[in-house]
């Protein structure tokens, strides 16, 4: 199995996020505030520059995982994180009772690719780390998403507007 299929699936999914993420919170904010008034929706607002930087940085992470190859823990951890990302998108759609950025390709690309890739790895006799990859995937997902969004926030916020 070519590891680069993961990068292609990721790119298709993140193209949807790139096209829809910036501005979504503002457009949906009145409805979301009625549903979940305790959430600080203003903190979740992101600019197009922020989204573009975050996706570019995550692209570097995914490229490194694919370059490591399907037998590597890094690839399997990234694959587990990618699948988790798809599940999170479905949960977001249910919780908001509507479209959220990335929902369409989560259902049609992320989850089907993830299931197919795990089956293919096993069929090819690749030793799959199983639960360790899943746990590592969760940890990598949290660190990677938090890290790329933190860096994107830093790079997309003018120095005069930063808190530090």
pLDDT band with cut points at 50, 70 and 90 for residue 163: low
CA distance 117 to 32: 35
H/E stretch holding 92 reads helix 73-96
Report pLDDT for 89.
Answer: 97
Cα Rg for the chain, rounded, in angstroms?
Answer: 17
- Averaged over 102-108, what is the pLDDT? 98
Q: What is the pLDDT of residue 45?
A: 85
Give the tokens for residue 128.
Answer: 């799959």
Query: 21: which residues sit within 8 A by CB, 6+ positions away?
Result: 46, 51, 101, 102
């Amino acid at each position: 199995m070519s590891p680069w299929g993961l990068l292609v699936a990721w790119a298709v999914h993140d193209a949807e996020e790139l096209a829809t993420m910036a501005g979504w919170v503002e457009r949906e904010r009145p409805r979301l505030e009625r549903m979940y008034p305790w959430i600080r929706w203003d903190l979740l607002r992101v600019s197009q520059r922020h989204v573009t930087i975050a996706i570019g940085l995550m692209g570097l992470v995914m490229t490194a995982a694919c370059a490591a190859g399907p037998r590597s823990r890094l690839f399997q951890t990234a694959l587990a994180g990618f699948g988790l990302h798809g599940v999170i998108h479905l949960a977001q759609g249910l919780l908001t009772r509507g479209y959220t950025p990335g929902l369409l390709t989560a259902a049609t690309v992320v989850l089907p690719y993830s299931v197919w890739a795990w089956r293919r790895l096993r069929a090819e006799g690749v030793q799959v780390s199983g639960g360790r990859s899943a746990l590592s995937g969760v940890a990598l997902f949290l660190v990677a998403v938090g890290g790329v969004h933190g860096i994107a926030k830093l790079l997309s916020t003018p120095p005069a507007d930063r808190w530090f």
